[in-house]
Amino acid sequence: MKVSLQRVTEASAIVLNEFGTPDPTFDMVQIGPGLVLTVEVEPDDGEGTLARMAHRVLTLRCFDGPQGRLSLSVQEMHGEILSIPQPLTTLRRSAVGRPQLVSHDAYDEHANLIWIRFNEALQSGDVPVCEGRFGARMRVGSVADGPFQFTLQE
C-alpha cells in the first residue's frame, strides 16, 4: 500500500460522469483543515497492511501545535481526511514510441475492498473521513497548507 498525504486547509472532490460533468448520483464532498490522501492498494495488501497504514496516518505528527512545529497528528488537531483511491498503474516502456501507463484492472475488486476497509480504520480513530469513488474520474481541489506533501509506503 502506498499513501500520498498532503496537508490542506480545505479540500473537495466531485465525481464526473462520462461527459466530464458532475455525476448527479454523487454529492460533492468537502473537508476543512486536515489531510488529502491518495491511496494505492497493491495486490498483496491485506488487513494487517491497512491497519498499520491507518495507524501511521492517524498518528503522524504533521500539524503545528502549542508545543511547536509538527507536534500534532490529524487525530490530535481534530482534522478531517479526504481519501481518494488511486488505481494501480505501471509504466510500460516499449522499444519504440512513447511509454504508456497501464492499469491493473484484475485487482480492482480487491483494491476497492481494501480501500473501503482502510477508510473504516481511519474513521475508527475518531477522524471524519470523506471519500471519493473507486474507479471514477474525479475533480479534486485543495488548498495546500505548506507545501507539505509526502508518501508513506508499506
Q: 10 Å Cβ neighbour count for 50? A: 24
CB 35 within 8 A of CB 57: yes
Considering only 15-24, 58-67, 93-102, which range has the smallest mean pLDDT? Answer: 93-102
Q: What is the mean pLDDT of residues 124-151?
A: 94
The model's pLDDT over 70-94, given as tens digits with 9 standing for 90+, comes to 999 999 999 999 999 987 655 566 6
Q: For residue 36, name the pLDDT band (cuts at 50, 70, 90).
A: very high
Contacts of 108 (CB under 8 A, 6+ apart): 87, 134, 135
Mean pLDDT of 98-120: 80
Query: What pLDDT score does 43 carry?
Result: 86
The pLDDT assigned to 92 comes to 63
On whether the CB atoms of residues 119 and 134 are closer than 8 A, the answer is no
